Structure 1
Amino acid sequence: MANRLQVIYIEDDALVRRASVQSLQLAGFDVAGFESAEAAEKAIVADTAGVIVSDIRLPGASGLDVLAQCRERVPDVPVILVTGHGDISMAVQAMRDGAYDFIEKPFAAERLIETVRRALERRELVLENHALRRELAGQNVVAPRIIGRSPAIEQVRKLIANVAPTDASVLINGDTGAGKELIARSLHELSPRRDKPFIAVNCGALPEPMFESEMFGYEPGAFTGAAKRRVGKLEYASGGTLFLDEIESMPLALQVKLLRVLQDGVLERLGSNQPIRVNCRVVAAAKGDMSELVAAGTFRRDLLYRLNVVTIALPPLAERREDIVPLFEHFMLDAAVRYGRPAPVLTDRQRASLMQRDWPGNVRELRNAADRFVLGVADMPPETGAGDDADNDQTLKERIEQFERAVIAEALNQTGGAVAATADRLHVGKATLYEKMKRYGLSAKGDTER
């Protein structure tokens, strides 16, 4: 808030105004005093960074008029009202109408300073959240939903850009929590079908007896309890995108029917022989190797070929550690906006600790950790290795090397791959840094002597 007016003080009594302005200035605030609401009007603008302190009783427009104007023009700006003894009930009503606080005359300078300080903290939080919303919007324009700087994520973004405008079926392969649905939604939102439905079905969550009726719909009387017509997911997604998560869980009998719909573009509801044309793009997601399921006879080879025109592989976070910090910071911004909290700034140690952790729950676990951190209910850095069986098998030397690699990788990212700047940041010689980079398989980008 440097070089921006912090306090607009409106008081018609020149002695009180001068004393109050001086007290606030001595406390370090940037203050402007005005004798009337009309005189202060030009200083109250939409991006006012500070707070307004106004006497209730003024010549011309009153402090209550100032409050009403602020509620209309700058609703987030805190208004503190100064009142005489006889105006307390009026001030209490003003607080119900949106005033931040009131101060009763005569008041000590400390009371004024403390009230202004608290109001400014609230105003700073509001302005920060506005900035966070703009930053999130900017991120979504550049790379909607897909956050990261690793080569794997760059490849994912390229595939999405190339494939989204087409109707090609896509199979997304990745562990639980890796963000497969986010990729599916990005494919939909960047496609010509973006204005049509995006229907997500978790094949692993549907009981097998309900699978066919959920996917194909049914007519009244098709089975016991079918009292009225129901449109199935395939029909509802027509014109848009159908996302089939955990496709490996789909029963074999339904795989045959789904294949027929994908080949012919026609389905029949349960209890009906009437063909219904459907035209939906199918994006499927799976964890594990689908070819193994085909070999085991639990998934049809011809359906896999139909779904697997393009494969997008989404590696776990443990294999793309350079994405962990950008993702965590993005999730912190999002959580700060949702919860109305300031976004913390990570230290270098916290960044390194985040990168050291394997995050077996992947993006989902990382998002939850960011939420807890913003809410102040979790310490940072997170307990690395706590409860992770893989970490329990590591020797001390292996853990130290893993931590050192994470620190160097993050420092390289922060300096844009400049080896000289990275060496200065880590307080090591360039020769030592080169040796460690070679040992850990890290590479610099661009001019390494910058």
Structure 2
Amino acid sequence: MATSVLEVPMSFMEKMLKILVVDDDPLVREFLQDALCQLGHEVAVVQSGIEGLNALLTQEFDLVICDMMMPKMDGLEFLKAVKGRKLSADVVIVTGFASIESAVEALKLGAYDYIQKPVRHELLLSLVNRVAEKRYLLRENILLKETISRYRWQYGDIIGSSQKMQSLYSLLERLKGRTIPVLIYGESGTGKELVARTIWKESPRCNDIFIAVNCGTIVDTLAESELFGHVQGSFTGAYRDKKGLFEATNGGTLFLDELTELPLSIQAKLLRAIEQKKIRKVGDTKEIDVDVRLIVATNQDPDMAVEKGILRKDLYYRLNVVSIKLPPLRERREDIDLLLDYFVKKNGIDAGIEFFSKEALEALRAYDWPGNVRELEHLVQRLIIFCDSNKVRVEDLPLFKKETCEGPNANSSTDLALKENEAKLIQKALKIAQGNKLKAAKLLGINPSTLYRKLKKISQE
């Protein structure tokens, strides 16, 4: 295979690659590791395709040099697994049994290149330099795209054009195609689950299951069973075997919101599940292999949570591969107009930002939004129902009729009452909630049972 060493305008640090060697022959592993380390690269070695795949799922590598003939999982099977998961590393297949057919098959499956043992030093140098140039150009392309898109106002369903949001979008771009753990933290209502779902949609596991759970809703005594499952008879009420969240999400992405609500004893078992990729159901003696991408969130500052003793330090360090801090809405007031426009149009009002008077907009921009984006969205939904005119005035804003004096309340919907034209308001709420009576009741600020009674009464009239 004819190759040439290309001169590329890169610094020494830009030429350095993180390389994974996958080969069942210890002599080959040692040779490749020594040769690549001498070239200044960071090198890890494993002895099987399965170990190699696990390494790629937990760490980021630029290049994988993989042997063709290995037990259990050969080079082509390994290559298929890597490409099937859309992992970003380039793969080079190495073998002592070269053939045109296997070379063509490897290239068809997406291998970067194909070389034969014994690997010559100059060929290895040329190959690695070509990969380094490619990775450098890819990084430059990403940076260019980030520069071009630095004024974007939306990323998926995330809205905002402020500098803080541009920084978030840049980080989300870098997470594309990766499966590493992510820790998201920020105040309630800042959109932690929305960011988690966005990360999942842009990941290699986007076609696999996504499960979101709020740890604050899990009863402490049942937390282990909820996460890891249980077998029949393991405790009172365990009438049959049950899958836990980890087993149910196997192959997909699990989002654990409000992580600090989990007891420390369960956090220790969570750490073990992450590190060993194995779980044990309550009451069982055997372990189950699981492959789960974990995204966690908390409304606490993680460092403070560790100091308070509500987050295990070892778990924090294990999860904190990438951390994302979401800014409160009061720290990105320049996004309020965009958010208002988006939510008004989302709820069927074409006027968008024009739905608000100048005075109302000024009041909304000045408000501190303790409930953040969630509070703003709920306010828009309520205004669409209760506003009698085509434009929202300051006096239509419940936030400034009551909460300004008594202190803001993110859950002010429960203080609202139905107005005189009850049937009209109920139908409007149902339309916005797309027929969902529970959501409509929440918008109206009444109990679902009350809404059911009123609907029954309306239907009888």
TM-score range, shorter chain: 0.5 to 0.7
3-state SS of 1:373 partner:
helix
CA distance in 2, matches of 1:271, 1:380: 61
- AA paired with 1:380? R
> Which 5+ residue runs of structure 1 have no aligned equivalent?
1-139, 393-450
Using the TM superposition, give the Cα deviation of residue 216 of structure 1 relative to its aligned residue in structure 2, in angstroms. Answer: 0.5
Structure 1 position 380 matched with structure 2 position 393: yes
Using the TM superposition, give the Cα deviation of residue 259 of structure 1 relative to its aligned residue in structure 2, in angstroms. Answer: 0.2
Using the TM superposition, give the Cα deviation of residue 385 of structure 1 relative to its aligned residue in structure 2, in angstroms. Answer: 8.1
Structure 1 position 315 matched with structure 2 position 331: no
CA distance in 1, matches of 2:184, 2:201: 16
CA distance in 2, matches of 1:165, 1:318: 32
> Which 5+ residue runs of structure 2 have no aligned equivalent?
1-151, 409-461
Q: Is the 8 A contact 2:154 2:161 kept in 1?
A: no
Using the TM superposition, give the Cα deviation of residue 386 of structure 1 relative to its aligned residue in structure 2, in angstroms. Answer: 4.1
CA distance in 2, matches of 1:179, 1:150: 16
Tell me whether 303-312 or 373-382 shows the greater mean CA deviation: 373-382
Q: Is the 8 A contact 2:267 2:315 kept in 1?
A: yes
Does the C-alpha gap of structure 1 residues 247 and 183 become closer, same or farther in structure 2, counting only changes over 3 Å?
same
Does the C-alpha gap of structure 1 residues 287 and 385 become closer, same or farther in structure 2, counting only changes over 3 Å?
farther
Using the TM superposition, give the Cα deviation of residue 168 of structure 1 relative to its aligned residue in structure 2, in angstroms. Answer: 1.6
1:168-179 equivalence runs, <5 A? 168-179=180-191
Does the C-alpha gap of structure 1 residues 230 and 380 become closer, same or farther in structure 2, counting only changes over 3 Å?
farther
CA distance in 2, matches of 1:145, 1:194: 16
- AA paired with 2:379? A
Of 250, 264, 273, 1:238 maps to 250
Match of residue 375 from structure 2: 365
3-state SS of 2:208 partner:
coil
Structure 1 position 256 matched with structure 2 position 268: yes
Match of residue 313 from structure 2: 301
Does the C-alpha gap of structure 1 residues 389 and 311 become closer, same or farther in structure 2, counting only changes over 3 Å?
farther
Using the TM superposition, give the Cα deviation of residue 156 of structure 1 relative to its aligned residue in structure 2, in angstroms. Answer: 1.0
Q: Is the 8 A contact 1:218 1:229 kept in 2?
A: yes
Sequence identity (%): 38
CA distance in 2, matches of 1:309, 1:369: 36
Match of residue 139 from structure 2: none
CA distance in 2, matches of 1:227, 1:261: 25
3-state SS of 2:251 partner:
coil
Of 178, 184, 194, 1:182 maps to 194
CA distance in 2, matches of 1:385, 1:309: 45
Does the C-alpha gap of structure 1 residues 389 and 297 become closer, same or farther in structure 2, counting only changes over 3 Å?
farther
Structure 1 position 346 matched with structure 2 position 362: no
3-state SS of 1:285 partner:
strand
Larger Rg: 1
User: Aligned-pair RMSD on alpha carbons?
Assistant: 2.4
CA distance in 1, matches of 2:183, 2:230: 28
1:207-222 equivalence runs, <5 A? 207-222=219-234
3-state SS of 2:403 partner:
coil
CA distance in 1, matches of 2:286, 2:166: 46
Match of residue 425 from structure 1: none
3-state SS of 1:328 partner:
helix
Q: Is the 8 A contact 2:188 2:371 kept in 1?
A: yes
Structure 1 position 205 matched with structure 2 position 217: yes
Of 342, 346, 362, 1:334 maps to 346
- AA paired with 1:350? A
CA distance in 1, matches of 2:165, 2:233: 49
Tell me the number of residue pairs that the alignment of Structure 1 and Structure 2 aligns.
250
- AA paired with 2:192? K
CA distance in 2, matches of 1:181, 1:219: 31
Using the TM superposition, give the Cα deviation of residue 327 of structure 1 relative to its aligned residue in structure 2, in angstroms. Answer: 1.0
Q: Is the 8 A contact 1:357 1:385 kept in 2?
A: no
Does the C-alpha gap of structure 1 residues 389 and 361 become closer, same or farther in structure 2, counting only changes over 3 Å?
farther
- AA paired with 2:403? G
